[in-house]
Amino acid sequence: MHQRLLTFIVLQMATLIRNELLTSEQRYIALCLRSVIRRNFTPGQSLIVSFPKSGCQGSQTSPKCDSSQLVNFVLENTHQDVLWPLQVFQTEFLNLEMSDEQLRIHHNYVIFTWPEEFDVIGTLVTQLEKLQSVVSWNPRAKFFIVVTENYISPANILALNICETMWNINRIVNVVVMVPDPDYPRLGARIHILNLYTWFPYEAKSCAKLTNVVLMDQCLPDGDGQLSNNALLFPNKIPNNLQGCPIRVSTSELIPYVISTNTYVDSDGSTVYNYRGLEIEYLLLLTEAANLTVVYLPLAEGDVKDTHLQQLVEVSMGISDVAIGHFPLNSILIPFADPTITIVFDDLRWYVPCPKPVPRVEKVMGLYTLPVWFCIALVFILTALTFWLSANAPNITLVTESSTYRDMLQCICVVWCVSLGTPVPKMPRSPKLRALFTLLLCYCFVMGIVAQAFFVSFLINPGYHNDINNFDELVESGLVYGKEDSLEFFLRLADYHEQEMFRSHVDCSDRHKCLERLFVEGDITMLSPIIDVVYVLSHMGMAKIKKVLCTLNDNVFPLDISIYLTKGHPLLDLFNVAIRRCTESGLVVKYWSDLIFYTNLQNVDRFKERGCEVCSDMYFVFTLSHLKVSFFVLVFGLVVGFIVFVAELVYRCRSESHRLSTSKYGH
């Protein structure tokens, strides 16, 4: 510490010896600034130094030039002294190329200002506009404004003007202004006392209305640059209780995120809005905790896209403080407003109709694939043929085969009997045929077991048609795409164009109607956040039935919802803390599950009226209808049997009478 001080003094002397350009007042400003930087700025973080364009090329004697000598001196010494990253931001050096360094937001700003082309305020505005134009700009950082010359008395008027400018430009409140007080020249050497002013936006119910500045501290010329009170210059300016200050909110109804509850015209003739809903709940909880009064701005006209745009415009112009109502956390919006941390974590997914159950008859036919059916038939035919051939082969052994196996038709009948598990009229006699017969028996036994196992399980639950798993299958399925303009707008911003592959689309500006259609009729597909889907299901009385929810496995997009505040708004941290507490405690989750539960309860009747065959998965009653297929086959078999019986009877009668007639006339 002492060594540093020593270095500083040596340096200062060196400068003094090198050139006499710094006045004693400037050296004293530099000393004060040095102690402020040391005490109040976080060590190690980069320090942005901004100063107006100096007009010093050539003439080295103008008063402007003096001030830039001061800046040079301060820069040089601060750098030697603290060894923090120092970044000089002069209005001329604006670089449009973005480097990684610029993407890191800054936390400390020192702004030198003096009257240049305009007065001090005009110069400051130009400087701030330039500072604002880079990505790393942070209106919530610590701002220390050094005014090098001031002839306005009393000094707090200039400080007030500067604070006002900072607030209006970017809602900057963490600002300390160091102004020379023209009323207190001391030491006869025309060195002024330096006054340090700031303001407190939410003190004494002022509600961010700037009426006066507070003298924080003073830097006296004889104090060796130490502040007289040694006060901390950047205290927390946001109290925990905001004393009922109003907070203006732009929103419009967007069920279930923002649900309008009660709108009425009060005695003054102005409309009063009231809202609940998944997102508003965060706002209500945090305003209650911080003792803020919510004032909803009048509604915007138009569809979701228009209202979103208007709300964003209002919040970015400072007409309102907060924009709420399904605003995604998206870098596209960040230049216009400041997002809070995520309040709703959601996903955009493709919802598709769930696969339909397969009819039982169709499933039974599909027991084996076609080639397998053919193979089975081939095996039977070949077996019958082998029986017949080997029975009719020239007999080497002494055993003669029974006549059953020497007739081709009989052979087929035998095979058929074995396959159905019914007795055959005669067993084969020769060992060769017996072996073959045993083989057939085993084969039929195995195939029968397999078939029966499948058959019974199909009777109970025939399963479903193939489901749609990925986007290509979805496009091929020929489903109609439910197109929603506001969502489409965001998809285009996010550079997502897959939905253009659909051949036809229907208008889905009412997302909830379309979702209902998807769940009831199953003839469209659409991209939707899960929250909406859950809400629509509860509105159909089907919140518990997850079987109707089918989504694609690919093409899932995280959709984080935030609240947006005016850029630089001082309450952002308060919002973030409150939101984090609400999320951690699950207060909003409880609200949401209550909402879903009661909505579902109110609509259960609607669901019961409509009925739903796939919905119940509790237990399964095995009724006559499930055995329909078996009875169908049985009846078919009986009919065929009866026809064959009648045919047999007719044939028999015919041949009998024929034989009778031949015997009658023949003998």
Give CA–CA dist 10/335, Å, rounded: 46
By beta-carbon proximity to ligand NAG, the closer residue of 291 and 661 is 291
CB 585 to ligand NAG: min, Å: 19
Contacting residue, 7, 62, 241, 657, with ligand NAG by CB under 6 A: 241
Residue with tokens 């796939």: 614
Shortest spacing between CB 583 and ligand NAG, in angstroms: 23
Question: CB of 78: closest distance to ligand NAG in angstroms?
Answer: 43
CB-based burial label for 240 (10 Å; 0-12, 13-18, 19+): exposed
Among the listed ranges 128-136, 237-245, 444-452, 633-641, the one in contact with ligand NAG (CB under 6 A) is: 237-245
| Rounded distance between C-alpha atoms, residue 110 and residue 264, angstroms | 50
Between 291 and 477, CB nearer to ligand NAG = 291
Among 243, 390, 404, 469, binds ligand NAG (CB under 6 A): 243
Provide, rounded to whole angstroms, the least separation between the CB of residue 249 and ligand NAG. 18
Any residues with CB less than 8 A from the CB of 185 and at least 6 apart, and which?
A: 191, 192
Question: SS3 of 248, please?
Answer: strand
CB closer to ligand NAG out of 288 and 507: 288
Nearest residue (CB) to ligand NAG, 21 versus 289: 289
- Residue 243: is it exposed, middle or buried by C-beta count within 10 angstroms (0-12/13-18/19+)? middle
Closest distance of CB 291 from ligand NAG, Å: 4
Nearest residue (CB) to ligand NAG, 288 versus 510: 288
CB nearer ligand NAG, residue 99 or residue 240: 240
CB of 288 to ligand NAG, least distance (A): 9
Q: Which of 561, 577, 597 is nearest to 285 (CA)?
A: 577
Q: 289 vs 530, which CB is nearer to ligand NAG?
A: 289
Binding residue (CB under 6 A) for ligand NAG from 42, 274, 291, 662: 291
Strands 214-219 and 191-198: antiparallel
Provide the 10 A C-beta neighbour count for residue 483: 19
Nearest approach in angstroms of CB 96 to ligand NAG is 47
**Residue from 275, 234, 282 nearest 258 by CA:** 275
Q: Which is nearer to ligand NAG, 207 or 475 (CB)?
A: 207
Mask for 307-346, x = binds ligand NAG (CB under 6 A): ----------------------------------------
55 vs 244, beta carbon nearer ligand NAG: 244
Q: Which is nearer to ligand NAG, 9 or 295 (CB)?
A: 295
Subset of 175-234 contacting ligand NAG (CB under 6 A): none
Phi-psi region of 536 (alpha: psi -120 to 50; beta: other; left: phi over 0): alpha
Count of positions on this chain that bind ligand NAG (CB under 6 A):
4
Q: Considering the complex, state which of residue 131 and residue 286 has its C-beta at the smaller distance from ligand NAG.
A: 286
Helix (H) or strand (E) holding 557: strand 557-566
Q: Which stretch binds ligand NAG (CB under 6 A): 240-248, 415-423, 614-622, 648-656?
A: 240-248
- The rounded distance, in Å, linking the Cα atoms of 111 and 343 is 36
CA distances from 578 to 27, 202, 333 (A): 46, 18, 22
Round to whole Å and give the CA distance between 564 and 580. Answer: 15
In the complex, minimum distance from the CB of residue 203 to ligand NAG, in angstroms, rounded to a whole number: 12
Closer residue to ligand NAG (CB): 249 or 536: 249
CB of 242 to ligand NAG, least distance (A): 8
Contacts 24+ apart (CB under 8 A), 633-640: none
Nearer to ligand NAG, 233 or 292 (CB): 292
Distance CA 321, CA 569 (A): 8
Kindly give the pairing relationship between strand 264-265 and strand 271-272.
antiparallel
| Residue with smaller CB distance to ligand NAG, 291 or 504 | 291
* DSSP three-state, residue 412: helix
| Candidate ranges 17-25, 236-244, 390-398, 474-482; the one touching ligand NAG (CB under 6 A) | 236-244
Tokens 């803390």 appear where? 577
Site for ligand NAG in 563-622 (CB under 6 A): none
Residues β-bridged to residue 296: 249
Q: Which of 244, 298, 431, 586 binds ligand NAG (CB under 6 A)?
A: 244
Give min distance, CB of 245 to ligand NAG, in A. 8
Q: How far is CA 39 from CA 23, 42, 229, in A?
A: 25, 8, 12
Phi, psi angle pair for 563, to nearest 5°: -100, 140
CB of 292 to ligand NAG, least distance (A): 9
**Could you tell me if 570 and 286 are in contact, meaning their C-beta atoms sit under 8 angstroms apart?**
no
Give the C-alpha separation, 107 to 475, whole Å.
50
Q: Are strands 108-113 and 142-147 parallel, antiparallel or unpaired?
A: parallel
Determine the Cα–Cα distance for residues 631 and 634; give it in Å rounded to an integer. Answer: 5
Report the residue count for the chain: 667
Q: How far is the CB of 546 from ligand NAG (least distance, A)?
A: 42
Please list the alpha-helical segments (H only) found in 83-237: 100-103, 120-132, 155-170
* Stretch of residues binding ligand NAG (CB under 6 A), selected from 225-233, 239-247, 381-389, 577-585: 239-247
CB of 244 to ligand NAG, least distance (A): 4
**Residue 205 C-beta: closest distance to ligand NAG, Å:** 6
Q: Does 72 bind ligand NAG (CB under 6 A)?
A: no
Query: Residue of minimal CB distance from ligand NAG?
Result: 244
Residues that bind ligand NAG (CB under 6 A): 241, 243-244, 291
